Amino acid sequence: MRITVYTLFPHLIEAWRSEALVGRAVARGLLHLEARDLRRFAGNRTGRVDDAPYGGGAGMVIRVDVAAAAIAEARADDPEPDEVALLSPAGAPLTQAVVEELATRRHLVLLCGRYEGFDARAEALVDREVSIGDFVLMGGELAALCVVEATARLLPGVLGDADSHRQDSFTTGLLDYPEYTRPLEHEGAGVPDVLRSGHHAEVAKWRRREALRRTLERRPDLLERAPLDDDDRRWLEELSAGRDVDL
């Protein structure tokens, strides 16, 4: 997969390219991550890409011609981008379902704003706008890196264990079940016996139920869309009725 990020701060993206699992994916040729400087499209010697907002008010706005020139350059790439996305607090929320869709792209282009963001006319030039949450960052770079991290880990070969993302929060429609490792005891807190029983079916049952419990307690909204079977529904009814059942 190829991801091209247009930004006023290419070094922020480049720093991500050489470390941890993204760095390994890049080194192994599974991900091509490139940062391009938006200032190249400034059309002036100072590299200034912003201007004052029409109508007045605080802050500066990134010019639409700058966005248009960057997008035109990206669309001439080989392979041509199958998606151009703008990072914006006004975009659609970045969910795991969106990430799964983006991870199927051959070439994804991400545009990072700064200041008050892009001139609104840039919105018509992109395929989608993506928000990473209901808060405002100072720039789109961290949001773009969230997209990079979340999509890269779904690419074949990027994670050591190809199955490890299948049980992740949201992928199953639920939050993930709780995990434990050594030490067996920490300041009086132990590990559920079933996890040491060696009984795979019982472990799987416990994990499913704990995932349901966590989701009910922390994100009940997810249960409205999660694929549930009859056992799941019975367990949720028991939990909701306060009749917690030990396995």
Ligand X SMILES: C[S@@+](CC[C@H](N)C(=O)[O-])C[C@H]1O[C@@H](n2cnc3c(N)ncnc32)[C@H](O)[C@@H]1O
Q: Contact positions toward ligand X, by CB under 6 A?
A: 87-90, 112-114, 116-117, 131-133, 135-140, 143
Nearest CA among 172, 153, 181 for reference residue 214: 172
Compute how many other C-beta atoms are within 10 angstroms of the C-beta atom of residue 235. Answer: 20
By the 10 Å C-beta count (0-12 exposed, 13-18 middle, 19+ buried), 73 is classed as middle
Give the nearest distance from C-beta 90 to ligand X in angstroms: 5
**Closer CB to ligand X, residue 99 or residue 132?**
132
Of 116, 123, 129, 202, the catalytic one is: 116
- Rounded Cα distance between 217 and 177, Å, is 12
Of 89, 105, 128, 192, the catalytic one is: 89
DSSP string, 47-81: ---EEPPTT--SS-EE-HHHHHHHHHHHHTSSSPP
**Closer CB to ligand X, residue 86 or residue 174?**
86
Give the nearest distance from C-beta 5 to ligand X in angstroms: 11
Annotated active-site residue 89? The verdict is: yes
Annotated active-site residue 116? The verdict is: yes
**Closer CB to ligand X, residue 30 or residue 68?**
68
Strands 61-62 and 50-51: antiparallel
Of 65, 82, 149, 168, the catalytic one is: 168
Q: What is the DSSP letter of 166?
A: T
Of 36, 105, 128, 153, the catalytic one is: 153
Annotated active-site residue 168? The verdict is: yes
Annotated active-site residue 153? The verdict is: yes
**Positions marked catalytic:** 89, 116, 153, 168
